[in-house]
Amino acid sequence: DSYAPISAPLPLLVRGLPSNNKQSAQPPDSQSSAYGGTLYGEGWSFLIPDLVCDVENGLLWKLHLDLEAIAASTSDAPLILEFLQRRKSDPSMVKTLSLAIVRTIILERRPITMVAKAMDVVLDSYSRLMKMGGGLPAVRRTSEQNQQPGVQPGVNPDSASGDGNRPVQSNSEVEHGIANLAEHVDRTLLNTSSDSDDIIDASGASDAPDRKPQVLGQDSRPLASGTSTQHGSHVASVAVSPSEMFESVFVLVEDEMMADPAYLISIIMEFLRSVSRAGLKAPPNLFVMMTTLLARSNRYPEIALFVSNKILEPSKELAMQLMELGQQHSPTRKLGVDMLRERGLHHDYVTALLQDGYHLEALRYARKYKVITVQPVLFLEKAVAINSAQNLAAMLSFFSEFTPTFKTTSDYGRYRHILSEMI
């Protein structure tokens, strides 16, 4: 049947409209007869990007690629992603398909090299968009929001945390470090083979010949029906940011791969390599996820290795996660506490020292960096808990000088009374 959608080399949906009143006056059967059922004619003129003018039969065709059928027609994920990332029409569908393909090959546990190449394709496309000035204004705003979640405009997050002078590690150094440390990831536990060669169930592609094409006539959909899609491309992009990859791929596959965290850890390592190679920034929550997966497998030495070599990028979120995981592994908690100090997060660092019982060290640190946000009562409670009159007296004296209004509070009178009873 020559009217069936073309299935090779590309699945197509073909629609058309009569180009003159004489042709439109003919009934549908006459139109089909006049057209002759020819899929291609010598008199066809192709108008880029998607129009075909059939002068002989007086018809105008609009070609629309069936992207879902194309995606289902091959198991070569990197190849189909390269194709999708070049599409300009229907960017929302392209982005959804791209994310679904990456998500599917991870769930199917395809070879790590294939998944890595697929992620390279997606992130390289986004990197090119950013190098061209961020593309569209809406894309630039989305990118900035994704890269700096929760940060107010015009505020330097590092400066706000007292870490503005921290040297920035180059992408080449990060990539080199990842390459050197990749061998430490135990891939003997990985099952990278897959019995499935399909990205998506190809039943849709096999059923393509059974689809009935639209008959040309008065009920045909106008060519202007694609206007909204084309117009949408002005406010959207097919490019996928690292944050979108995290939210739409890694977050969704994490729960389904609880039984095999080793494979997902290796995929995240490859993703970090791809991000560094493309000159982009990975979302902080991805490092938190990777740390959790490593701890779930009792791979605490690797956590220390990745932290010391900056494979896990320091952040407040990561430090807090390390401290939480440290409840089962004390050296890991120390990594988190040290990260708070290195990041200049003075309030959180002093609070962590108090939680660990280092109240004198916390007091010295608070005096050195003038940390006035920690309540004096937290220090005083620690001194009372260890029943040390000397420490309690020292702290009362310190806060009386450090915080002049402290003597006017009820806490001062209460702990002075406790000190007198201890003496």
pLDDT at 408: 87
Cβ atoms within 10 Å, residue 130: 18
Determine the average pLDDT of the residues in 52-57: 82
Pairing of strands 51-54, 59-65: antiparallel
pLDDT at 231: 40
pLDDT digits (tens, 9 = 90+) for 80-106: 999 999 988 789 999 999 999 999 999
pLDDT at 304: 96
Task: Tell me if residue 11 falls in helix, strand or coil.
Answer: coil
Q: Give the containing element (helix H, strand E) for 65.
A: strand 59-65
* Residue 287 exposed, middle or buried by CB count within 10 Å (0-12, 13-18, 19+): buried
Full DSSP string of 236-298: --S---HHHHIIIIIHHHHGGGTT-HHHHHHHHHHHHHHHHHTT----HHHHHHHHHHHHHTT
pLDDT at 60: 83
Q: Across the chain, what does the average pLDDT equal?
A: 75
Distance between CA 262 and CA 342 in Å, rounded? 30
DSSP state of 20: S
- Residue for token pair 């390269």: 82
257 within 8 A of 115, measured Cβ to Cβ: no
Full DSSP string of 74-100: -S-HHHHHHHHTT--S-HHHHHHHHHH
Its pTM stands at 0.66
288 within 8 A of 321, measured Cβ to Cβ: yes
Q: Give the containing element (helix H, strand E) for 115.
A: helix 112-131
pLDDT at 40: 66
DSSP state of 15: E
pLDDT digits (tens, 9 = 90+) for 1-14: 445 554 455 555 55
pLDDT band at 338 (very low <50, low <70, confident <90, very high): very high
Of 135-144, 197-206, 399-408, the one with minimum mean pLDDT is: 197-206
Cβ atoms within 10 Å, residue 38: 12
Distance between CA 8 and CA 251 in Å, rounded? 36
Determine the average pLDDT of the residues in 251-280: 93
Share of the chain above pLDDT 70, in %: 66
- Residue for token pair 């002075």: 416
One-letter amino acid identity for 49? Answer: P
pLDDT at 87: 86
* φ, ψ for residue 47, nearest 5 deg: -110, 110
Contacts of residue 167, defined as CB under 8 A and 6 or more positions apart, other chains included, come to none
**CB half-sphere exposure, 310, CA atoms < 13 A:** 14
Nearest CA among 240, 237, 196 for reference residue 106: 196
- For the cut 90, the answer to whether the pLDDT of residue 244 exceeds it is yes
Determine the average pLDDT of the residues in 368-396: 87
Determine the average pLDDT of the residues in 130-149: 56
* Residue 254 exposed, middle or buried by CB count within 10 Å (0-12, 13-18, 19+): middle
134 within 8 A of 289, measured Cβ to Cβ: no
pLDDT at 62: 82
59-65: strand order across its sheet: 12-18, 59-65, 51-54, 44-47
Cα three-residue angle 364-370-372, rounded to 5 degrees: 105
